Amino acid sequence: MAFNQTPTIVVLKEGTDSSQGKGQIIANINACLAIQDTLKPTLGPYGSDILLVASNGKTTVSNDGATILKLLDIVHPAAQMLVDISRSQDAEVGDGTTSVAILAGELLKEAKSFIEDGVSPHLIAKGYRLASELCIEKIEELAVDTNKGDQEMLEKCATTAMSSKLISQNSAFFTKMAVDAVRSLDPDDLDESRIGIKKVPGGALEESMFVNGVAFKKTFSYAGFEQQPKQIKDPKILALNVELELKAERDNAEVRVHRVGDYQAIVDAEWEIILRKLDSIAASGANIVLSKLPIGDLATQYFADRNIFCAGRVSAADMDRVLQAVGGQLQSTCSDIRPSELGTCALFEEVQIGSERYNLFTDCPRARTCTLILRGGAEQVIAEVERSLHDAIMIVKRAVAHHEVVAGGGAIEMELSKYLREYAKTIAGKQQLIIAAFAKALEVIPRQLCENAGLDAIELLNKLRSAHAKGETWYGVDFQSENVGDNMKSFVWEPALVKINAIASATEAATLLLSVDETIKSESQGRGQGAN
C-alpha cells in the first residue's frame, strides 16, 4: 500500500533561525523594555549618569539617551529600532532622546497585554496612530507663541534642556553661552556646524570661553616662529592651499648630473621658486598667512623677518570657519593675489589657555561663526559638557526657528493624557481601550521624573490628574517645592517641536515593531531581518 508523502522542502540555508507569531512580537517587546529599563534612571533633572566602558577601555560618563544607546552596541534587531529613533530625535531636534526611547518602550509595554489577549497588532497600530495625530494637533493648539527674538525665552528653553545634565549647577553660565552661540549664526541658515567646539583639559567649568569668531590650537611650528607677532590689530589674512617647504631631493626625485655646478643649479632653482612664492605673499600686504599644507622652516623665518604671522597644517574645518568669519578666498597659487582675496578681523592674538596655545580671530566683520573653548577637570567631564551644550544649542536653534513653547516637567504629557482619556469615552469598541492605553503610556514621563527625584510618584500623579481635570493645563512636577505647580509660570519651557517629534517618532517605532511577527536570522551573518 503506497502513501503519498510530501517531501520536505528546504528554502532557507541550514543553521538559519526562524521564529514567528505572537511569541515573536512579545519577544521583540521584551527586548525593547530591557533597553527602556536601562534609560529610565537617566531621565530628568535628577536623572543619574551611566558609566560606559568600551572594549578598548575608553570610558564615557553620560545621561544623553542617544549617546548611551550608540555606545551600548545593541545586537537585537528589534531593540535596534529604539537606537534609530533616538538618533533621529538627536539629529532633528537635538534633545528629548531619552524621552522618545522611554515613551516608545511604554507604548509597547501597554500593547503587550493586548497582544497576549489576542488583539490584532494592526488594530493596536491603528489606534496608536490615531492617538498620535490627536496629540500632535492638541500640542499645536496649546503651544504658546513667544517673541522670536526674545533673549529671555531662549535662555529659559536652554536652561530646561540643561536641567538634566552634568552642567545644571552652572546652567546660568552655559545658558548664555548656548544662546550667544546660536545668535552668532546666520539667522536664515542657523547651521550649527559653524559653532566650533574646542576642548582644553584642566581648569574649572566656568573658565570655558565664548569666542565671537574663530579659535584653533597653535599648529606645528619651526624655529623662527617665536619671533613672529602674537597680536595684530585689523590684520590682513591670506588663506592658502600651498606648500611652502623645501623638499629633500633624494626623497622625491632622481637627478643625474655630470658636474657639481649642475647639482647646485637644481638646488638654486628650488630656492628661487620658494622665495618667489614668499615674495609674492609679502607683496600682497598680508600679515597673517594660513595654509592647509605645511609651512617649512625657511618660510617661517622669512615671515618672522617681515613681521608676518604664519600657521601651516590648519585643518580643513578650521580653515573653512576662518574664511566664513574673516572673508577672503582660499588661494591655490601665490601669484596675482588681489586685496579683495584677503580677509580681516578686528583683532588677532595668540593666547595661552591651560597647557595649550590658541590662535584667536575675534570681532570679525562677517562673523557668522563662533567657537566655544570648554574647560574641565577630566576628559569625560568635558565630553559630557560638549554633549550637554549640543542639546542646549539645538533647542535654542529650534526655538528661534519655531518660537512656540510648551511647559516641561511632565505638564504637556499629563494634559495630552487627560485629552485622550476624554476622547476615548466618545468612541466604542477596542479602539477605546487602545487610545486609553496610549494615554496611560504618556504618564510614564512624569512618573519617571518623580521616581528619579525620589518623590512619591503615585501621590504626585494623582495631584496632577486632579489639577488637569480642573483645567490647570500647565501643571507639572515642580522639583523646587517637591510638589506640583504651574511650569509655564516657573519658566520650565520646551519647544513644542521637541514634543511633537518625540511623540511621532515613538509611535512610529512602536507601530513598526508591532507589525513585525517573524524574524529570520542568518547564521553566517549573525544579523536579524524582520519580515512582516
> CATH topology for 17-145+407-531?
GROEL; domain 1 (1.10.560)
DSSP letter at 433 equals: H
CB 436 within 8 A of CB 418: no
Rounded Cα distance between 269 and 5, Å, is: 90
Kindly indicate the confidence band of residue 527, based on its pLDDT and cuts at 50, 70 and 90. very low
Phi (first) and psi of residue 134, to 5 degrees: -65, -40
CB 440 within 8 A of CB 430: no
Residue 238, classed as helix, strand or coil, is strand
Phi (first) and psi of residue 353, to 5 degrees: -125, 110
Residues with active-site annotation: 64, 97-98, 391
What's the sign of the alpha-carbon dihedral 284, 287, 290, 296? positive
| Strand 236-240 with 330-331, pairing | parallel
Instruction: Classify burial at 291, counting beta carbons within 10 Å of its beta carbon; exposed 0-12, middle 13-18, buried 19 or more.
Output: buried
What's the sign of the alpha-carbon dihedral 252, 253, 257, 261? negative
3-state secondary structure 14-32: CCCEEEECHHHHHHHHHHH
| Strand 404-407 with 493-495, pairing | antiparallel
| Amino acid letter, residue 385 | V
Triad 171, 175, 180: Cα angle to 5°? 160
Q: Which pLDDT belongs to residue 326?
A: 85
- When the pLDDT of each residue in the chain is averaged and rounded to a whole number, the result is 82
Q: What strands, in cross-sheet order, belong to the sheet with 370-376? A: 195-201, 370-376, 209-211
Tens digit of pLDDT for each residue in 145-164?
776 556 777 777 777 777 76
Q: Which pLDDT belongs to residue 108?
A: 92
CB 506 within 8 A of CB 10: no
Stretch 485-506: mean pLDDT: 86
Tens digit of pLDDT for each residue in 331-357?
888 887 888 888 888 888 888 888 888
Rounded Cα distance between 251 and 170, Å, is: 54
Residue 230, classed as helix, strand or coil, is coil
Q: Which pLDDT belongs to residue 231?
A: 86
Tens digit of pLDDT for each residue in 378-401?
788 888 888 888 878 887 887 777
CATH class (in words) of the domain with range 214-366: alpha beta
- Domain range list for the chain: 17-145+407-531, 151-212+373-402, 214-366
Q: Grid cell 606645528 — which residue? A: 220
Q: Which pLDDT belongs to residue 447?
A: 92
Q: Which pLDDT belongs to residue 529?
A: 47
Residue 356, classed as helix, strand or coil, is strand
pTM above 0.85, yes or no: no
Residue 214 has pLDDT above 50, yes or no: yes
CATH class (in words) of the domain with range 151-212+373-402: alpha beta
Rounded Cα distance between 374 and 370, Å, is: 13
Residue 362, classed as helix, strand or coil, is strand
C-alpha cell at 129: 496612530
Q: Which pLDDT belongs to residue 144?
A: 82
C-alpha cell at 476: 507639572
Stretch 129-137: mean pLDDT: 93
Stretch 11-36: mean pLDDT: 72
